[in-house]
Amino acid sequence: MISHTHKESTENIPCLVKTLGITDYRTAFSIQNTLFERVLKAEIHAALIIVEHPHVYTLGRRSKEEDILLPKKQLQRMGVEVIKTNRGGATTYHGPGQIVAYPIINLRSSGISPVEYVRLIEDTLITTLKEFNILGTRKNGMPGVWINDLKIAAIGVRISKGITTHGFSLNVSSNLNYFDHIINCSSEEMSMTSIKNESPLIDANIKIAKDIIVKNFCRKFNFDLRFDQNPKLF
């Protein structure tokens, strides 16, 4: 359940949405930091970056170096980067065919607690999956969205000064083999799935999925879309 302040708001708050193509992780992180400063200065209330990354393994604050199961030289031959981040959570994979979303939101002024924030993200993902005729569920104590025992969406966030960075990812048509080369989210038992795997008869079009996520995210958070048409990154 969302908080009293958030629930009773009668005005939708503008949210700047930037939809990028395939963008390297460091560039996207730089954009997040720029938007974080703009939210901190109250120049904007909220922003959402939608992106795909080239192949990359990212390490969260709970990650261990041994989570990466391949030697550096092999990763280099595969064209996979390994990047340490300041988000919560453990090690995960991002790559083409996977939607990554970075919300930058002032939770304090929105009246949303950190726990509620994660729940709203999960609601966004579950609602999005319904539009592909997929039943997504939660697991107690394990942020993200699941299809039975298979994970389809991951969440890893950072909150500083009441403002969010990092975010969530949804496997649309990802090459899931890349998850086999890491201890994903600190669990050797975890297996992944995707929209393409779960609904093979439905076109797992990444652009359509991006549009659906943006729509559902803004509905769940009571945001009005403000698409940034500026060709510059920021």
Q: What per-residue confidence (pLDDT) applies to 135? A: 97
pLDDT digits (tens, 9 = 90+) for 23-61: 999 999 999 999 999 999 999 999 999 999 999 999 988
Mean pLDDT (whole number) for 211-221: 96
Residue 173 domain-assigned (yes or no): yes
Question: Between 203 and 167, where is the model more confident?
Answer: 167
Give domain status of residue 234, yes or no.
no
CB atoms within 10 A of CB 77: 10
Asked whether 146 and 155 are in contact (CB, 8 A), the reply is: no
Residue 233 lies in a domain: no
CATH code at position 191? 3.30.930.10
CA 163 to chain centre: 15
Chain position carrying tokens 């359940």: 1
Give CA–CA dist 59/101, Å, rounded: 17
Asked, for residue 76, whether it belongs to a domain, the answer is: yes
| Residue 233 pLDDT exceeds 60 | no
Bridge partners, residue 225, by sequence: 15
pLDDT band at 1 (very low <50, low <70, confident <90, very high): very low
pTM over 0.85: yes
Nearest CA-CA partner of 152 in 183, 116, 185: 185
pLDDT at 226: 87
Length of the chain: 234
- The better pLDDT of the pair 45, 62 is held by 45
Does residue 7 belong to any structural domain of this protein? no
Q: For residue 117, tell me if it sits in a domain.
A: yes
Average model confidence (pLDDT) for the chain?
Answer: 89
Catalytic residues: 185
Q: Are strands 150-160 and 142-147 parallel, antiparallel or unpaired?
A: antiparallel
DSSP state of 232: S
Using the predicted structure, report yes or no on whether residue 8 has a pLDDT greater than 80: no
Confirm whether 232 is domain-assigned: no
Q: Which residues of 22-56 are buried (b: 16+ CB within 10 A; e: fewer)?
A: ebebeebbebbeebbebbeeeebbbbbbbbbbebb
Instruction: Provide the pLDDT confidence category of residue 3 given band limits of 50, 70 and 90.
Output: very low
Q: Is residue 1 included in any domain, yes or no? A: no
* Predicted confidence (pLDDT) at residue 93 exceeds the cutoff of 70: yes
- Distances 11 to 5, 67, 159, 168 between C-alpha atoms, Å: 12, 45, 24, 26
With pLDDT > 90 as the criterion, what percentage of the chain qualifies? Answer: 75
| Residue 13: CB atoms within 10 Å | 19
Number of domains in the chain: 1
Cβ atoms of 13 and 46 closer than 8 Å = yes
Task: Enumerate residues 6+ apart whose C-beta is below 8 A from 122.
Answer: 138, 143, 144, 145, 155
Domain hosting residue 184, numbered range = 13-227
Q: Is residue 146 very low, low, confident or very high in pLDDT (cuts 50, 70, 90)? A: very high
Banded model confidence at residue 17, pLDDT cuts 50, 70, 90: very high
